[in-house]
Amino acid sequence: MNLSRRISFRTSITFCIILLLVFGPSCSSTEGRKAQTNSGPPKTPEHFVLRPQFITQKGTLAAGTAFAIEIDGQERLLVLTAVHLFGPAAGLPKQIPSSELPAYVRGVILYDAFSQAEVARAGPMLELPEAAPWNKADTGDVAAFWASKDSQLSPAKLGESLPTAGQAIWLAASLNDGPERDQLLHRAVVRLSKREGINFQYDSTNLNLLATSGAPLIDSDGRVIGINVGVINLGDKTFGTGSPVTLIRPILNKAFDRISRKRD
């Protein structure tokens, strides 16, 4: 994404939030709100929300959240998280380019986010050179690791399209503290939905969303429609930002194509 497009998306988010604070949910379509906001929460399996501990050339790095997905036609699962975790967001001095991550990160130990029990080990990383932090480029903020299907992981399916304004979605994550600490799903309503990213408002206020970068955003059918990448707390309102499936899926498909060409 060039600078003007990044500014455009950030301006859209800011403008949407201002409208929400002043006038209510003005950025949502009325029809979408009526059809979607009352959708019930999805069912989620055990060992879906994970705490990753990355094994790197310079030691272990515990940061963010991860989850597993199942891709049609692939013999293994994929564990996804946010690529921006391999940078200052996790205490590193600088962002490690995505093209260098497969050599830098040797694998990942995965713990159930609620029981803290180790449930799987995954690796190697899938090469995703096009991926980048959501505020740096017009690409998906995603990192991926191969995992065995006979592990204890419980995968979800990856969605096909953007959520719509007014649609109910859920962040699947473990919070560090607060009244919702032991709650798996945290409901929100989409306020802005564009190819570059999605912005949503949580039902609950003042959530402590520390370490939820990389957590899945799911719809009422339990499909992953995005990866959580940011949070904005404004007074008694909490907004989130997600890297949508429309950016993530093409990056994964390019990686699968490269693997296929190498085999041929």
pLDDT digits (tens, 9 = 90+) for 60-116: 999 999 999 999 989 999 999 999 999 999 999 999 999 999 999 999 999 999 999
What domains sit in the chain, N to C, each tagged with a CATH number? 3-44+157-247 (2.40.10.10), 50-156 (2.40.10)
Query: What does pLDDT average to over the chain?
Result: 87
**Taking phi first (over 0 means left), then psi (-120 to 50 degrees means alpha), and beta for anything else, what does residue 206 get?**
left
Tell me the pLDDT band of 234, cut-offs 50, 70 and 90.
Answer: confident
Hey, what's the torsion of the CAs at 87, 159, 102, 115, to 10 degrees? Answer: 70
- Tokens 């029990």 correspond to 117
Each residue of 10-52: pLDDT tens digit?
Answer: 545 554 554 454 445 545 443 344 445 556 889 888 999 999 9
Give residue 21's identity as a one-letter amino acid code: L
Instruction: Decide which of 22 and 191 is more confident.
Output: 191
Give the E-state strand segments of the chain in sequence order: 50-56, 59-62, 67-70, 77-81, 105-112, 118-122, 143-147, 156-157, 168-172, 185-194, 197-202, 216-218, 224-234, 237-244
Hey, what's the torsion of the CAs at 198, 54, 65, 3, to 10 degrees? Answer: -20
Inform me whether the pLDDT recorded for 230 exceeds 50.
yes
Secondary element (H or E) of residue 12: helix 3-23
pLDDT at 35: 43
Q: How far apart are CA 123 and CA 121, in angstroms?
A: 7
Each residue of 143-174: pLDDT tens digit?
Answer: 999 999 999 999 999 999 999 999 999 999 99
Q: How far apart are CA 246 and CA 41, in angstroms?
A: 22
Q: How far apart are CA 75 and CA 71, in angstroms?
A: 8
**What one-character DSSP code corresponds to residue 235?**
T
Three-state DSSP at 81 gives strand
pTM: 0.88
